[in-house]
Structure 1
Amino acid sequence: MVRVDIQLTTIGASLVRSDERMLTGRNAAGRVWKTGFGGLDPLIGGGMRAGSLLLLAGPQGMGKSTFALQIARNNAATGRPVLYFSYEHDAEDISQKLLALEAGELDESDQVRMTNIRAIFDDLWVSSLERRLESVPGGVEALTRMERYADQLFVHRSTGSRTDLAAISQTIDSVRASTGTAPLVVVDYLQKVKSTQLDDESRSTEVVEGLKDLAIDTGAPVLAIAAADKTALRSGTRMRAADLRGSSALAYEADVVMVLNNKFDIVARHHLTYDLTNAERFKDWAVLTLEKNRFGRDGVVLQFRTRFDQGRYESEGVEVKEQLIDDRVFRE
């Protein structure tokens, strides 16, 4: 009996599969997951592509988890399954963030705050969640919105002592069996994944190579948050791909590397010196740099307004016009 490697294929077979996708209309929809952030998707080939590994990095407190969770919600809201490996937050905490996000987008009075949502969950008053949310502008409608996609967004409470690549793979298989399709995978965050290696460089290499293999094997994107070296976390400096912990392996394996920075910290000083109003305004904006992009132009810099008080980013991004400090990008 001849054993056939299931990973082995021919270009002819690949062409047949591509032709079948095009004839059935599943070509674009099946291969691309939109981030839902305006300005970003067209730059990375229409969205997050099947089999790709995307890294999202940034200084502490820059809203990396918020950005990733918003992408997860945007995809779950379209009916596609999402699997979120959370090493730092439990499902209830994530639920609170999603409610704040939904209510914030609905609230024209601009009164919704993350603190309001948390207070509702912590209040000792005995009542249903829907009744409690009546006190929040847009709260009940936010809950309704969230319930529409709640069963498509899977949260895995991950730990650095137990959740390794094998556990991630098994959970992906479980969700795929449950939903009938491969989920978008979000790992928050990469350096917390349990590893057999001891030093940071080797740990990062093992995990990032494993996540890239999982993306290819499952035929879905993997979006992983990446931590920075401590030396990159100084205030007033611009974090780059080279600052990632275990950067050589991360930069090589990833298809897309995105780095978030606070605009105030990285805008050229002359923009602040002559206009103090700008100084305060820039603090409310995040700058997203495409440090590496196998599906389009790298070096593109977009800005998004932050609404961390509502647990979200405003979704429309535009290219930054101001000069930024250290305008260099990673080159493979």
Structure 2
Amino acid sequence: MTADTPQFSRLARLSDVLDETDARLRRGEAATQAPWSTGFMPLDSYLSGGLRPGELILLGGPQGMGKTTFALQIARQAIAGGHAVLYVSYEHDSVNLLERLVAAEAGERAGVDAVPLRSVRALLEGDGTSMSLSDKLAETPGGAEALAAVSVGLDRLHVLRGGVDTSVTDIEAAVREVARTGGLRPLVVVDYVQKIAMEGERAVDEERRMAHVAGGLKDLALTESVPVLAISASDAAGISEGKRLRTQNLRGASSLAYEADVVLVLNEKYDVVARHHLVYGAANVERFHQFAVLTIEKNRGGMAGVDLEFRKRFEQARYERAGELVTEQLVDARLFVE
């Protein structure tokens, strides 16, 4: 544990815990670890401040729903808060993650007119000129400012490129290496959990494999006292158009949901809003397409069953961080409406 991490022995009398807690508070120290802000409001409020060390947080959603986008913005917020991040990427290479971070930062700083992701990507792919990235971005709206902002603390963002044999043991070793070299225990982001290799026996069904992996991630969160944010893919039944994806539609759902302290699920608002909002409010159709609904399906530390909406800005690889409670009626499935 780091020097500033409160920790008691495995076996302790609660009276001793109270005495130690009081002593820490009298010294002006924290008696427990504060949550790490996600940067999304009012999500932080419903999570009692954000993501907590020792917890496993599951983020699910249909393909193309911006799960990586959402996770990267949480990672960026952790860096801005002085924390370290270990991003375990089975899906995207390091340059792709950098492109997304720059585009999202530009959007947050310069608004919807800022340089889009496709332009940032084109610059990194090369345009035949011998200019630095900062010089190239200086000619784009918000690009130079975004690169300067992203560069601050970027040495605390570590990427572990996952492969077919990358297991929870490998992730744990990377966490310890990050802590050893930088002195900070990181937020761990796994993109995505179904790609984690299982040590030993391979020929097992999905549920058993996910039980092993989810249990390992939860143990990692507790042992290393870090928050673990794991992105989850959906099963075939959870990707049908017009159907609301729920926890039970995630691959290996029962094992994942059992181990997770928090389960967050993203859905396209248009796909889950009740039909009468579309029939009697045709002007709403386009607006609903612009929003995602984030549902807190499980929350051991606070309220669950909460539906929040966030505006999508996928052209800039981001969500708007200020969201609202959903006011419309939502359904698990709806009749198709044009």
User: Normalising by structure 2, what TM-score?
Assistant: 0.91
1:110 aligns with 2:116: no
Partner of 2:298: 292
What are structure 2's unaligned runs of at least 5 residues? 1-8, 334-338
Note the C-alpha offset of 1:68: 0.5
Q: Report how far residue 304 of structure 1 moved.
A: 0.3
Contact 2:114 2:143 in 1 (8 A): no
How far off is 1:95 after superposition?
0.5
How far, CA to CA, are the matches of 1:89 and 1:13 in structure 2? Answer: 47
Q: RMSD in angstroms over aligned alpha carbons?
A: 1.7
Partner residue in 1 for 2:180: 177
Alpha-carbon deviations, 1:139-191, whole Å to 9, x = none?
A: 111111011121111111111x2210110110000011112221111111110
Aligned to 2:288: 282
Amino acid at match of 2:241: S
- For 1:17 and 1:82, the matched residues in 2 are separated by 30
Q: Equivalents in 1 of 2:170, 2:29: separation in Å?
A: 30
Deviation sequence 1:241-280 (CA, Å, 0-9, x none): 1111111111111110000000000000110112221001
CA drift of 1:77 comes to: 1.2
Contact 2:245 2:265 in 1 (8 A): yes
Tell me which amino acid in the other structure corresponds to 1:171. Answer: A
Whether contact under 8 Å (2:55, 2:226) holds in the other structure is yes
Shift of 1:7: 4.2
Letter in 1 for 2:59: L
Give me the whole-angstrom Cα distance separating, in 2, the residues matched to 1:109 and 1:28: 42
Aligned residue identity for 1:212: K
1:254 to 1:24, Cα distance in 2 relative to 1, 3 A: farther
Deviations 1:47-69 (A, max 9, x none): 11121110000000000010001
Kindly report which structure 2 residues correspond to 1:51-70, keeping only aligned pairs within 5 A, or say none: 51-70=54-73
Counterpart CA distance in 1 for 2:20 and 2:77 is 28
Query: 1:13, 1:162 → 2: CA distance?
Result: 44
Alignment partner of 2:42 out of 26, 39, 42: 39
Asked if residue 137 in structure 1 is aligned to residue 170 in structure 2, the reply is no
Q: 2:329 corresponds to which residue?
A: 323
Are the aligned partners of 2:270 and 2:288 in contact in 1 as well (CA < 8 Å)?
A: yes
2:262 paired with 1:256:
yes
Counterpart AA for 1:126: S
Distance 1:26 1:277, change over 3 A: farther
The equivalent of 1:3 in structure 2 is none
| Matched AA of 1:37 | F
Which deviates the most, 207-216 or 118-127?
118-127
TM-score, normalised on structure 1?
Answer: 0.92
Cα distance change of structure 1 residues 181 and 108 upon mapping to structure 2, 3 Å threshold: closer
Alignment gaps of 5+ in structure 1: 1-5, 328-332
Report the Cα distance in structure 2 between the residues aligned to 1:254 and 1:120, rounded to whole angstroms. Answer: 39
Range 203-212 or range 109-118, more displaced: 109-118
Match of 2:157 among 136, 153, 163: 153
Distance of aligned partners of 1:238 and 1:83 in 2 relative to their CA distance in 1, 3 Å threshold: same
Residue in structure 2 matched with residue 125 of structure 1 by the alignment? 129
CA distance in 1, matches of 2:12, 2:185: 20
Change (3 A) 1:16 1:50: farther
